[in-house]
Every structure is written in C-alpha cells, then in structure tokens.
Amino acid sequence: MSVSSRQVTNNKMKLFPIILAAGQGTRMNSAIPKVLHPIGGKPMLAHVIDSCKQLQAEKIAVIYGHGGDQVQAKIQDDAITWVHQAEQKGTGHAVAQAAHLMHDDDLVVIAYGDVPLIKADTLQCLADSLQNADLSILTTLLDDPTGYGRIVRQQGEVDCIVEEKDADTAIRQINEVNSGFIAAKGVDLKRWLQQLSPENAQGEYYLTDCVAMAVAEEKRVITVICENPSEVEGVNNRLQQAKLEREYQTEQAQNLMLRGVSLLDPARIDIRGNVSAGKDVIIDVNCVFIGTVKLGNNVIVEANCVIQDSVIDDNSVIKANSVLESASVAENCNVGPFARLRPGADLQKSAKVGNFVEIKKSIIGEGSKVSHLSYIGDTYMGRDVNIGAGTITCNYDGVNKHLTQIGDHVFIGSSSQLVAPIKVGDYATVGAGSTISRDVPANKLTLTRPIQKTINGWQRPTKKNNN
C-alpha cells in the first residue's frame, strides 16, 4: 500500500461500504447469478461482504439486480441493506440507487461483488486516505491494462479516468488502471452522482466520471496503489474464477504452512472453509477441507482425504482416501485407509477404524477397533472392543432407527449382524457369522450358527452333452 502510515478514521465519520452486484455475468454461461459462484466454497459476494464487515461499518448496502431472488436467498445476512437496481445503466447509476442511504458525513467505499479477493485492510486504507483527500481511487499497475479505465494525470495529479472504449491510443498506453474501488464522503458523492450523464461510448452512467467532477471543483483526488493485483481482479468467466480460486488456495496453503503445518505439495490442497491446526501437522497431497476443521498437534492426513466440519485430536492419523463429515476423532486414533466417518461418528482415544468401514452417529470407545469392512450406526460402544471384519449393525427396520449398545471388552466375531435394538454385555463374545437379535449376556460366548454338515458320497454335477 502506498499510503504509508495507517491513519485512524475520524470518529465522526462512519464507513458505508456499497457493493455492486447487479450485473448479469453473461460470460459465466450459468443459471446462477455470477456473484454466487464460489471461491473457496463460498459465494464471491460473501467474500466481499465479509471483508466489508471487518471494517466495522455501520451499514453495508448491496446493489442487486439480475437473479436478485437467488442472491438474497443465498446471502441471508442482517447486516445487509438490499438495494434494487432494476436496469443496469452503469456503475454510476448503480451507486446512485443507494444515494438515499448516504449521510453527508459517511465515508462511502465502493466495492464489487465479483471482485472477491479484496482485503479489509486495503478497503480500510482506501477509506483512511480520505483524511487527506476528497476522493480516493484504488489503482493498480498492470503490464496489460486492456479493458480497464486508465488513470490520466496532469503534472502528476489525477485528472480523470478514461474508459478503454473512450480512450485514444495515447491513453491506452497508460498502465495505471482504475480498480473500480473508490472512496468519498457521502455529501460529495451524492452531488456528483446527480450530475452524471451517459454521453460516452457505452451510453452508461460511469461512476468514474466523478473524478473529473471532483477535479473541476478543485477537490483533492488521490490514488492508493494496490500492490497485489489479484486483490482487485474481477471475475467475468469461469477461467478467471479458476485463476482466483488458485490465488486464494495458494494463500490458504501459505497461511497453514506459516502456522506450522507441513504440506507435501502446497499446490495440491483445497480449503473451502477454515482449518485450524496445531504444531507439526502433516498433510499429504489432494486433501480437501470443507467447513470448520480442527486438527491437533502431530496429526497426519494422508493423500486424497475429504474432511468436513470435523475435529481430529493430537497424534491421530487419517490414512489415504478417507472421507470424514461432522466427525470427532480423539487423540492417537487411526482412521482408514478408505474409511468413511459420517455425521456423529465419535472416536474416543486410541480407537481404530480401518478400511472399508462406515461409521454413523456412533461412539467408538477408547481403544476399540473396527478394522475391516463394517457398518456401525447408532451405536454406543465401550472400551477395548474388537469388532470383527464384516460386522453390520442392523439399525434400521425400514421405518425407525434403533440403538446398539456394546459394553467394554466385547469381541464380535467376523461377519456378524447385530439387529437393533440390542445390548451386548461387558466381556461378551459373539461367535463369527452370528445374527444376533436378542440381548447378549456379559462374560459368555453367544452365537447363532447352523450345525455344519458334510454329505458323504455327494458327487459334483457334470456337464450334460445336450447343452
């Protein structure tokens, strides 16, 4: 930021961010309004709103138009004042729709719903710069400024902004461009907006024409240079969206690494939400984190895991290709490879859930093991239980879900079915291949198993000639 010292915003001045989000976004080729397309799993507009909220603004207005119902349904936020722009007649016209909300002493900051990576600090800096000016423009320097409004200066001072379509060859050479973000006092902005006219190449009311008006009034116009151009990059198509998604993910990955997480390849992680992590966490490639995920110290997440809204405590290992959703994994657990922890899976200390095991809404007690090919649902399991391969809790009778209660130190033989509701007492052993439909007493062997027979003299069928 070129405004060096961060000034404190005058207390009497109230920040009023206005976010333009009325455009159609034709080039997205989508039924979804552009500003709802996500970056990091969150609508672009929500990113901008979140940055504006960090400014502790008194109110935030969003100018909506195309797909307004969808936008309002998705972004339900009491902090927002919604302002309708029925017809899109240009950025100046869009801002003018919110003129009735501007108080004279508001510090109005204009932002864009399709420019998702703008940082609160940058907006704050833009607003603070109004301490020394009447109109402040966030600009950036681009090697290829094509398409942007150019900052035209006279003796170093800003004179006006000329849009690409209105620019001559000389002006098109200028590589200082208008990011679109501007800040001005309500009293000035309202006056300038009233004077806008659509006499330009696009027949639009340009917000940028306020600059020449300010200069004509001998007001002070300054620029704040945004050093990271991706912060002010807009999204018009899915290629640009994908580019900003990578920028966003790169930053997420860097933040994690700086906080003590090892990423085996920082280019191959996706964070769609918030990940917090202790020290010496290791995350292998192609993992996706969704929602709020908390990782303790020394957690290892192997390749290709998808982890959503889950907590994983110290020293636990999530092996490759596991999928966790709303699960809780205590310390020293082992999950996967190829495990699925569904909502309400609660693994207590040192539990083990192995390959091709699905756990739903169940407590797996301390030190208990479900190592292979099992479904455990609606179950309370005590400690040091061993569930043999292929065990199924039959928790659903087609209408209702029923509970399975397994005591401590139970051993369930392989390929058993526990037909809930059912209780299995402490230290019980269930023989392999049993279908258990009545409660199992503690300390005993219980099994249901047909008697094994051998048929003497039985002959294998032989192939007949006529077929």
Residues that bind Ca ion (CB under 5 A): 234
Least distance to ligand UD1, CB of residue 232, Å: 7
Instruction: Answer for the pair 361, 377: CB distance below 8 angstroms, yes or no.
Output: yes
Which of residues 234 and 365 has its CB atom nearest to Ca ion in the complex? 234
> For residues 198-237, which are near ligand UD1 according to CB under 6 A?
206-208, 234
Tell me the residue type at 291. G
Least distance to ligand UD1, CB of residue 179, Å: 6
Set 93, 372, 402, 409: catalytic member: 372
> 149 to each of 144, 268, 312, 332, how far by Cα in Å?
12, 36, 49, 57
CB atoms within 10 A of CB 167: 19
Rounding to the nearest 10 degrees, give the CA dihedral for residues 249, 19, 152, 218.
-140
Phi, psi dihedrals of residue 231, rounded to the nearest 5°: -65, -30
Is 308 near ligand UD1 (CB under 6 A)?
no
Which of residues 34 and 340 has its CB atom nearest to ligand UD1 in the complex? 34
Binder of residue 329, out of ligand UD1, Ca ion, none (CB less than 5 to 8 A by kind): none
Q: Is 47 a catalytic residue?
A: no
Alpha helices of 75-208 — where are they, by DSSP H?
91-96, 120-128, 169-172, 186-195
Instruction: Answer for the pair 41, 272: CB distance below 8 angstroms, yes or no.
Output: yes
Is 149 near ligand UD1 (CB under 6 A)?
yes
> For residues 414-433, which are near ligand UD1 according to CB under 6 A?
none
Which of residues 110 and 440 has its CB atom nearest to ligand UD1 in the complex? 110
Least distance to ligand UD1, CB of residue 209, Å: 8
Full DSSP string of 160-199: EEE-GGG--HHHHT--EEEEEEEEEEHHHHHHHHHH----
Size of the site for ligand UD1 (CB under 6 A): 27
> For residues 84-123, which are near ligand UD1 according to CB under 6 A?
85, 88-91, 93-94, 112-114
Which of residues 167 and 351 has its CB atom nearest to ligand UD1 in the complex? 167
Binder of residue 367, out of ligand UD1, Ca ion, none (CB less than 5 to 8 A by kind): none
What track of x and - describes contact with ligand UD1 for positions 162 through 181 (by CB under 6 A)?
-x-------------xxxx-
C-alpha span between 393 and 395 (Å, rounded): 6
Least distance to ligand UD1, CB of residue 173, Å: 15
N-to-C CA span, the chain: 86
Helix (H) or strand (E) run with residue 244 in it:
helix 238-258
C-alpha span between 460 and 53 (Å, rounded): 78
Which of residues 198 and 266 has its CB atom nearest to ligand UD1 in the complex? 198
Catalytic residues: 372
In the complex, the residues that contact ligand UD1 under the rule CB under 6 A are 20-23, 63, 85, 88-91, 93-94, 112-114, 148-149, 161, 163, 177-180, 206-208, 234
